[in-house]
Amino acid sequence: MSRSKHTDPRLIRASRRLRAPFEHRSAKDLSLRRRLGKAAKESASETRYANTDIGLRRVRVLIQTPRSGFHHPAGKKQILEFLAAVGPTALYGLRSIELVRQPNDQGSDLLRFGRYEAPGRILLLEQPKSPWRLPGLLNDEDMLIFKQAGALVSCMSGAQVTIVKWPKGALERFMLEEVLLHELGHHVFQHDKGKRLARVARTSDHEATAARFAARQRPALFQRQDK
């Protein structure tokens, strides 16, 4: 059965395109690519990080000064280190990560953290400084996610208010391991569909795919952090 570079596994394509972004699909021998693919399965860690440094140099991290009372929990250094840990799969086609202010239409009862904009642009939104006083009671899913990131959550049922306190480093971890990783999942899905400007799937499908990507990546990230 004939194969083209387009049918190579994404990890192999990502590493190759980061190294030589303008190389023609017909370049190099197919049998060589097959041998490389076999080697990649036998030595996944080496292939995973091949050409990561090249990809990182192509990603722009842009920072907008946060408003008074807000901050960007994760800075450029932390973001680049996190991208290096995720590897070429997420870097392939990624253009920029931008630390921006909350949109002007933000209501006081809304929690917004990040969003993906095609092609290859991820926005991470400024966050209020700790502690947060949120109107209403958090649902169980959000509360669990916050607590897993290290937040201290207390619900005042009588006043219908939730207090969220973020110890040092906890909100940074949340923005990287929950928000950025999820938005990278959107990028990987969108980019795999041909770099279209329009969203390539229904919002629910896009969200589900991004969540699956993040779920697959987290175990490996946690293993490396524990070493």
pLDDT tens, 9-38? 555 555 555 555 545 554 555 565 566 555
pLDDT at 77: 95
Selection from 103, 92, 75 nearest residue 187 by Cα: 92
Chain mean pLDDT for the chain? 79
CB 114 within 8 A of CB 100: no
Whole-angstrom CA distances from 62 to 3, 15, 59 are 39, 24, 10
Domain boundaries, the chain: 1-50
The span from the CA of 191 to the CA of 185, in Å, is 10
Give the global pTM: 0.75
- φ/ψ of residue 161, rounded to 5: -135, 145
pLDDT digits (tens, 9 = 90+) for 146-172: 999 999 999 887 878 999 999 999 999
Least confident range of 44-53, 99-108, 165-174? 44-53
- Specify the higher pLDDT residue, 138 or 37: 138
> Which of 57-66, 91-100, 205-214 has the lowest average pLDDT?
205-214
- Residue 2: how many CB atoms within 10 A of its CB? 5
Beta pairing class for 121-125 and 132-135: unpaired
Count of C-beta atoms within a 10 Å radius of residue 22: 5
Q: What pLDDT does 126 receive?
A: 97
Residue with more model confidence, 49 or 175: 175
- Inter-residue contact 225 to 86 (CB < 8 Å): no
Q: What is the pLDDT of residue 189?
A: 87
Degrees to nearest 5, angle at CA 127 with 126 and 132: 170
The mean pLDDT value for 62-86 works out to 95
